A and B are shown apart, each in its own frame.
Chain A
């Protein structure tokens, strides 16, 4: 299939566009534009983009349902993998840039910082989803694949809590993401209720 795709296919453009936030960040690093505490700025920027890609991934199904546009479904896996990609960079900066792999400090920091627990939980889920992303894994896991991949809902809640739980005052950003994720999740709940009601209608009534 790859040989048939033109050089600037929509697929390739989207793959490249998802790397723009990283490029932009690297330019800011190169030109020293991240302010007085650039490592903190790296944490925030990469964390923000992880959350954004998570929201985009979660938005694929609702947008598809509402607009009847099927083309998006091809990109859900890609957005999911980019969520994992930016999440990995976020974690990598914490371990490698901020703490320089001084494991004693890292262990103490994680132990005493409850906001990091939520972040790690979210990352653990994203990690499991990323390593089972292939068609091969999907086939082999059968029904449990879908079950596992539903844990993205848990990851999204944990990610927002991770954001909320470390702040002193300005809650407007995490509130925005919390609302967005609430809407995206409640869409699933609504669909679930609708399907349940539909199934009930389908059950033949016993004869009187």
Chain B
């Protein structure tokens, strides 16, 4: 199933035909692997397409607006490793992602620590094509493979006292230089959502993109994707999910509370204190292509605006 906002992304926005031809079939293999629990651990060792044997099926009717995979794989803010968006590609390969377990705790009936394979065995992977908008003023369109966060939360049975969800990234100082030297931010990285945001059908946990397992620099093995919020909300390499009574103190909010709010909803009308959010540079667009006008809630207003209908978005930025 492909989730797209109604005001769909124009078809002029870039293609990666090789990946396209493989994607659908690959996803099927991905799903099969998830259901059986087999083949996934080996898949997580690298980023080879899963189900190569199926990939020769003829090209289907696929949307032509996706950002080329090579750009998405080589332009990541991963401050545990480096300041540089391109250096993180190589540096992130030092991260150990196998084995991987996720602790789910807090205000729930069934606190549990799960191996990633066991967690995925109960989920059906789907493809979600989302625009991803960074607070720095650039955006890309990525086909994620994953499942809805709500489907995981249902299994652990949140108590009525659970009002927020806190996510914590991995702490692996031996692999992550900026954690070792305590540079830039408080580590490990922490993010959070309000409960209604967490259970919204657009909110997903991703394990792949472009029909392959998630590259390490893009947040392997498990990351959050919240498409109507600035990219820093979509936390990478998740090891812990806690349900809380109160709003968690998130990493960027703690580092610069006047610049990065808890909500961080994409909103062209609310500028960052030092720069405008009115437009964005789309990765993959050519020279002499004007910047794209940023949309309220990144184009997902129809689906999510009701979550914030009583809130002053300028105050709760």
Query: Which residues of A are in contact with B by a Cβ distance under 8 Å?
Result: 29, 35-40, 96-100, 102, 105, 108-109, 111-116, 165-166, 168-170
Contact = CB atoms under 8 A, between A and B. Distances in A.
Contacts of A165: 274
B274 A114 contact: yes
Given A35-B74, A36-B74, A39-B281, A113 B275 contact: yes
Per DSSP, chain A at the interface is: helix
Contact of A37 (B75, B84, B185): B75
Nearest to B279: A105
B279 A115 contact: no
Contact of A96 (B84, B136, B279, B288): B288
Interface string B65-103: 000001110110001000111100000000000000000
Contacts of A105: 278-279, 290-291, 293
Given A99-B290, A99-B291, A108 B138 contact: no
Interface string B118-144: 000000000000000000101000000
Contact of A112 (B70, B75, B271): B271
Contacts of A100: 288-290
Contacts of A29: 287
Contacts of A38: 287
Nearest to B271: A112
B258 interface: no
Which of A35, A37, A38, A99 is most buried by chain B, counting CB atoms within 10 A of its CB? A37
A113 B290 contact: no
Nearest to B275: A113
21 contacts: A29-B287, A36-B70, A36-B71, A36-B72, A37-B281, A38-B287, A39-B281, A40-B281, A97-B287, A98-B281, A98-B291, A100-B289, A105-B291, A108-B278, A109-B278, A111-B276, A112-B276, A115-B274, A115-B275, A169-B79, A170-B83
Interface of B: 70-72, 74-75, 79, 83-86, 136, 138, 184-185, 271, 273-279, 281, 283, 287-291, 293
A61 B271 CA distance: 42
Contacts of A36: 70-72, 74-75, 85-86, 283
Q: What 10 A-B pairs have minimum CB-CB distances, sorted nearest first? A: A112-B276, A36-B75, A170-B83, A100-B290, A112-B271, A36-B71, A113-B275, A109-B276, A108-B278, A113-B276
B272 to A, nearest CB: 8
A102 B277 CA distance: 16
Contacts of A39: 281, 287
Contacts of A35: 74-75, 85-86
A109 B137 CA distance: 11
A108 B294 CA distance: 12
Given A35-B85, A108-B278, A109-B279, 14 more contacts: A35-B75, A37-B85, A37-B138, A40-B281, A98-B281, A105-B278, A109-B278, A112-B271, A112-B275, A112-B276, A113-B271, A113-B275, A114-B274, A114-B275
Contacts of B184: 169
B31 to A, nearest CB: 30
Nearest to B287: A97
Nearest to B285: A39
Nearest to B74: A36
Contacts of B185: 169
